[in-house]
Amino acid sequence: PQGELRDLPGRPAEDLVTNPRCKDCEEERARRSLAAPAYPRPAPYPGPRCASHDRAKRKASKSNAHEKRVQSEYGLAPGEYGRLYLAQGGVCAICGRATGATRRLSVDHSHRTGLVRGLLCRLCNDLLGHLRDDVEAARRVVAYLIEPPARQLGIEAIHKDFRKKES
């Protein structure tokens, strides 16, 4: 029981009071019909929980909060963010590089109609915002990348990081 003082080899009895056992570890052991370990993991986190279960709890809580936010903000049904994510191959719909592992992909929507279009990384979402969803501006970006003005003028200057080093 939590807070019960008993001597364990190598651990003072007071340690169980200051660091009670993790309630999730206890439930997991009971569910799997496992015996209690001789040295239970300390549970210094609220709950009380061990570091692993505290991390899992915070991750689940954060995920639930994100799901609720996209539902209320964008009108997505439960699980639709995940469906979009999987349909896009788990990457940003524009650059195809960002996975949302560090920072979740943004829900992109039309600022004219409000309709959700897909999931974008922060940089691509900012790019669309800067272009103000102007298709002609996007075409100019493509044309610029294909035939930049410097090439049209015959200028072949090279950035210093790409110049060959002279011996």
Count of helix runs (H) and strand runs (E) in the chain: 7, 2
For 70-94, what is each residue's pLDDT tens digit?
999 999 999 999 999 999 999 999 9
2 compared with 45, residue with greater pLDDT: 45
Residue for token pair 């209320």? 72
Instruction: Please check the confidence at residue 14 and state whether its pLDDT lies above 90.
Output: no
Can you tell me the distance from the alpha carbon of 14 to that of 54, in angstroms, rounded to the nearest whole number?
22
Mean local confidence (pLDDT), 116-120: 98
Kindly report the pTM of this predicted structure. Answer: 0.71
Minimal CA–CA distance to 105: which of 95, 92, 114?
92
What is residue 3's predicted lDDT score, i.e. its pLDDT? 46
For 34-47, what is each residue's pLDDT tens digit?
877 766 778 888 88
What mean pLDDT, rounded, does the chain reach? Answer: 87
